[in-house]
A and B are shown apart, each in its own frame.
Chain A
């Protein structure tokens, strides 16, 4: 199990050897956004390029784009999050996940930030 992070405050977790990863927003991102009231999720089956807009997360005050941390195809989205967007606040790294993606290039994943590097980025922001 490996979790990586993007400078845009997404997390991505590889759980097995099948190159399927789960994507969500970080604790820092949900805190900065405040109360999340709406999420726009990608379509299952969609092919995403790394850094393409994969969805939108909207809080009471602001809207933010969600970017694909890696290239690949969307194989599942979190319907529970669509029904209750506040999961992104209450459990951003767990039940508040956004979508699952089948990686097309494992090297992109490996090149993302690890935990300490992301923490440092947040500290310096």
Chain B
């Protein structure tokens, strides 16, 4: 048994054990990896609704008149023009243009609400305080839990607790009372499905989770299914598909850099690594993240070497599994740009065999967001 004494617990820990979860250490927390089984939970999310505990992630608020401009000095994302009630995907960059973390930013009436990765949250808070602590208030919210309700029936289930949530569209958020708790809800998630992320006071999280699990469409899902779902959705996992050595351009995240922040835009640059990214935006990167689909049955996992037809090394897999919905091996890898055209074939070196994989656009499973 792993030593779990030093691990943190989320407010739903007791409930996870009651539901029969298999618990594992993850980013300093003891988290549920699965309940019924990864494939069953994955399908539950694709077909109905799955409830994830993502309370390990960091929640924080930035407030003050200069908060949006201050945050823009750390992210290549348009925060200033983000309307109240809207959410945007972004990332912190380092002076080389590498990714320090990716995050979700929601503009609220009185503040900016940020959700950051569990493994990065302490570094993110230090980063914010160091660079913009004099320009705005930075308040971590460790007294709030975060639940993700994801799947095509998530809206139906959540609407039974408060019908007003259906007013949200993809990447928007608002405050709603759910099961007696004052929650901040965004219509977003990490599975490619329609769904919601619900920030709830920690002491009311279990009550809300039980109210959601009481809905016939909803079943709990763990980190295992979360990982297969996000990979099918073509979404990056920090520390695997993106890290301090990969830039947003290499990672194929330029869509998240709005025109206004790009070279020639009204508020171009002025974030760490802006020159590197401007150069990559103008001339293209040397390596790029691509999707790969295995033409044979064997799963191709993280770390697997990718070679060309002559056996020359091209790169390696950053995430890989057998996609439970697409029922094929799927993977992400960084490859030289001349090998990134969709339809091209590369080879994964698995147990000394070269398994053919086809370069494919992502997502592997279609997104089904509710865009209104």
Interface of A toward B, CB cutoff 8 Å = 34-35, 37-38, 40, 56, 58-61, 63
Contact = CB atoms under 8 A, between A and B. Distances in A.
A58 B301 CA distance: 10
B297 A35 contact: no
Nearest to B223: A61
B43 to A, nearest CB: 11
Interface stretch (B13-21, B34-42, B199-207): B34-42
Given A34-B38, A37-B322, A40-B351, A60 B297 contact: no
Interface of B: 33-34, 37-39, 224, 228, 297-299, 301, 321-322, 324, 351
A117 to B, nearest CB: 21
Contacts of B301: 63
A35 B298 contact: no
Contacts of B299: 37-38, 58, 63
Contact of B298 (A34, A40, A60, A61): A40
A61 B38 contact: yes
A90 to B, nearest CB: 11
Given A38-B298, A38-B322, A61 B351 contact: no
Contacts, number: 35
Contacts of A59: 38
B326 to A, nearest CB: 12
Nearest to B322: A37
Given A35-B39, A37-B299, A63-B299, A56 B351 contact: yes
The 7 A-B residue pairs with the shortest CB-CB distance in the complex, in nearest-first order: A37-B322, A35-B39, A60-B38, A58-B299, A38-B298, A35-B38, A35-B37
B224 A61 contact: yes
Given A38-B298, A58-B322, 8 more contacts: A34-B34, A34-B224, A35-B37, A37-B39, A38-B322, A58-B299, A60-B321, A61-B321
21 contacts: A34-B34, A34-B37, A34-B38, A34-B224, A35-B37, A35-B38, A37-B299, A38-B299, A38-B322, A40-B298, A56-B351, A58-B298, A58-B322, A59-B38, A60-B39, A60-B321, A60-B324, A61-B224, A61-B321, A63-B299, A63-B301
Contacts of A61: 33, 38, 224, 321
Given A35-B39, A37-B322, A60 B224 contact: yes
Contacts of B321: 60-61
B364 to A, nearest CB: 15
Identify which of B33, B228, B299, B324 gathers the most chain A CB atoms within 10 Å of its CB. B299
Contacts of B351: 40, 56
A54 B313 CA distance: 28
A82 B351 CA distance: 17
Nearest to B301: A63
A103 to B, nearest CB: 26
A38 B329 CA distance: 10
Nearest to B34: A34
B35 to A, nearest CB: 11
Contacts of A35: 37-39, 324
A23 B228 CA distance: 30
A61 B297 CA distance: 15
Contacts of B298: 38, 40, 58
B42 to A, nearest CB: 8
B229 to A, nearest CB: 11
B38 A38 contact: no
A63 B348 CA distance: 15
B228 to A, nearest CB: 6
A4 to B, nearest CB: 27
A38 B351 CA distance: 14
Contacts of A38: 297-299, 322
Nearest to A56: B351
A122 B133 CA distance: 53
Contacts of A63: 299, 301
A98 B30 CA distance: 35
Nearest to B228: A60
Contacts of B38: 34-35, 59-61
B47 to A, nearest CB: 16
Contacts of A40: 298, 351
A34 B322 CA distance: 13
A35 B299 CA distance: 13
A61 B37 CA distance: 11
